[in-house]
Amino acid sequence: MTNRPAPNRFAHVTDWVFDLDNTLYPHHSNLFSQIDVKMTAYVSELLQMEPDKARTLQKDLYREHGTTLNGLMKRYDIDPDEFLEKVHDIDYSWLDPDPRLGAAIRALPGRKFIFTNGDRGHAERAARQLGVLDHFDDIFDIVAAGLLPKPAAATYDKFVALHRVAGENAVMFEDLARNLAVPKRLGMTTVLVVPNNFEPTFTEIWEQDPNEEDDVDFVTDNLAEFLETAMKA
């Protein structure tokens, strides 16, 4: 499904901002499930904890602190570089190259950014596997954010200041509605990317954001098609 934009709705946009995980690449690739498993294993090894208990703690940290990494840093003072290296040691061949998406991103006027709670290496490897990396001007990762993840307002402020992004001339694409609340307040157009036909994924029900509907301007389950439509409108 796609909530199609009205004619010229995106004509003013000069900055196109994309989340990475489950946004640039589709939910059904299940790539993030590999990272999820790695995070559970990290917590289990760090705290000498049974995997089931480690997973529960991992999810608690995610809910309370925005990312598992942020929670582990605050509670256990871990080395973030070691964590990021371990959890992103995954098989990127799970992603199929997406020439249609690459062409759609390349055709967008203005600048294009990846804005992710992951690290730059992960973003580069995933985007390269998709065949879209060369179409982006820069990647704003969790390290550039000072390890403070979305949806923290200070992280968006840092991104906007670094790249001199004017909110009213920008659009942001995300798979989590709560990560669109601050961009909406900054004047950005917001697009929520959802799974194809809302088919079930590994994402737990508590990761849904039913209270953030007012922060979402458009919803799509096909990013390439949405971008193509935006350029035709």
Which percentage of the chain shows pLDDT scores above 90? Answer: 82
Mean pLDDT over each residue of the chain, to the nearest integer: 91
Could you tell me if 139 and 67 lie in one domain? no
170-174: strand order across its sheet: 138-140, 111-115, 15-18, 170-174, 189-193, 218-220
Q: Is the pLDDT of residue 203 over 90?
A: no
Instruction: Output 3 or 140, whichever has higher pLDDT.
Output: 140
Q: Which carries the bigger pLDDT value, residue 207 or residue 155?
A: 155
- Asked if residue 2 belongs to a domain, the reply is no
We report the CATH number of the domain holding residue 40 as: 1.10.150
Sort residue 30 into left (φ over 0), alpha (ψ -120 to 50) or beta: left
pLDDT tens-digit map of 13-63: 999 999 999 999 998 899 989 999 999 999 999 999 999 999 999 999 998
In whole angstroms, give the CA distance from residue 31 to residue 21: 8
> Is the same domain home to 21 and 36?
no
- The angle formed by the CA atoms of residues 137, 107 and 142, to the nearest 5 degrees, is 30
122 and 188 in a single domain? The answer is: yes
* Domain enclosing residue 135, as ranges: 15-27+97-232
